[in-house]
Each structure stands twice: as C-alpha cells, then as structure tokens.
Amino acid sequence: MDGLVETAPAKVNLWLNVVGRRADGYHLLNSLVAFSDLADTLEIAPADGLTLAVEGLGAEALSAEADNLVLRAARLLAAETGRTPRAALRLIKRIPMAAGLGGGSADAAAALRGLAELWNIAPADVDLSGLATRLGADVPMCLAGRPAIASGVGEVLEPAPTLPRCGLLLVNPGVPLPTPAVFSARRGPFSPTLQVERAWTDLDSFAAALAVRGNDLTDGAISLQPVVGDVLAVLRRSPGVRYAAMSGSGATCFALYGSVAEAEAVSSGLPVAWWRHAGRLM
C-alpha cells in the first residue's frame, strides 16, 4: 500500500490530582485529559527495513536510536504479530519535548495506529491498548485520542463528559522539568477522588470544576523552576481568561478563553522567549 499520515495531538491535563501511591512507588492519579489542535505528524511508508527521521521543533535533541518511543512501538507491534518491522517513518515535531503535553506518548500511539494499518493487522489480531500500556502510562490515553477521566497510573480510562467549546493557550517557558523530579518535589497529603456528577453546560461551570481540583504537582514544579509560577501569574491576569493551570508535570501551562481569538490576542503579548500555541481543545 501507499504511505499514510497519522496525527499525534498534544495531551492537556485539565486537572491532575495525586490520590495515592502503589507499593512499587508509582503514584495513583485522577486526571481529566483532553487534546489540543496542536499535533505532531508521523508519515509512514513501506520500506525494506525500519528507519526514523525526525525534524521540526527540538529535532536536534531527539534521538532516533533504538530507545526512541516511536521505534519501540514499531518493534513491539511487529514482535507481537510475528512480523519483521519494515517501514520508513518521518516524524515532524511541533509539540515541545518533556513539557507535560505527552508528545512522545502521542507519537508512539500514532505509530501503533499507523503501522497496524500499514501492516494490515486486524483489530482482532492484536491488543493495541495493551501494547500502549507497556510503552508508557500516557500512551493508552493518546491512543484513544478523546477526552477521558484517567485513573490508576494513567492507564485506566473512562469517557469524559462533553467539553464546552473554548479557546486554548499553551505556554512553555523553555525550562526542563523531569517528571520524576516533580513528583518527588510534591508535598502534602493525597487528594480525594471527586466524582464528575454531570456534563458541563458552559465554560464558566467547566472552569469552576477545574478550579476545585487543580494540579497537585504545581507547587513542586514551581519549587524546581520558579518561572512556571511566572507563566501562571501572567496567564491568570490576562484579559478574558476563564481558567489557567499547569498541564501534567509541566513546564507547559494552559489557559482557557471564550474564543480562539481571545487566546491569540493574549499570545501576541507574551515574552518572546516563551513558546506558545493559541488554538482550541479538540
């Protein structure tokens, strides 16, 4: 078959609560996950071997060696289905790396979807969700690609209520925040798991629900990189903002507005050194 193209949308944790810890040290979460119109692109074509070329944002720092999550996904899928991994992969990066937006996980999920199609693997022949879990806690939610309430370590997914239409602004100050370090810096008790009782009828009720829950990793992230607090302060006093918080373990923060135009207007006034994307939730 001819080549194909898969999109890998950025994940946004609209709330993230740490609700416990397993015996093996992994933290238990409750998070509302949604996806942005910001996305990487994975081009997949038939080939005699398995290759990966990376270009775009941060490509010079992203390894295309065997430990790359896209190549790991390809090899895992081939091994589980008794195939020799053969494909030419071209990844165009637009999502910042190690930024709390799940870019690597989204790319791995795109590889699983696209290669299953390229290699004519029927859904009954492989458990893609199971493979996604083996690749990382965020990969299953990226494979599903729709709003979900994530629990466990992120692999247990329930459909989320319909999200209201809104503008979305993503901002990253360009500092590293390794996820393990942020979890280690978290202080205080675990949060309760709050049930979602109804769908959100408008942006104001949605923002109120987000504010009740927040992101339990924020203070830990700010203790490691104070500029995250600066980003949040700017977003929270921006014109028209309905809600602003950090996504995942950072350093990317997000803000919600009544329209994409409002998000774009705020984006234009941000410091030049900060990466930003103004768009919408999918």
Active-site amino acid positions: 11, 138
Helices 128-135 & 103-118 angle (0-180, nearest 10): 150
CB 116 within 8 A of CB 126: yes
Q: Which of 123, 110, 92 is nearest to 11 (CA)?
A: 110
CB-neighbour burial class of residue 31 (10 A; exposed 0-12, middle 13-18, buried 19+): buried
Three-state secondary structure readout of 23-62: CCCCEEEEEEEEEEEEEEEEEEECCCCEEEEEEECCHHHC
Amino acid symbol at 17: N
Q: In whole angstroms, what is the distance from residue 35 CA to residue 147 CA?
A: 7
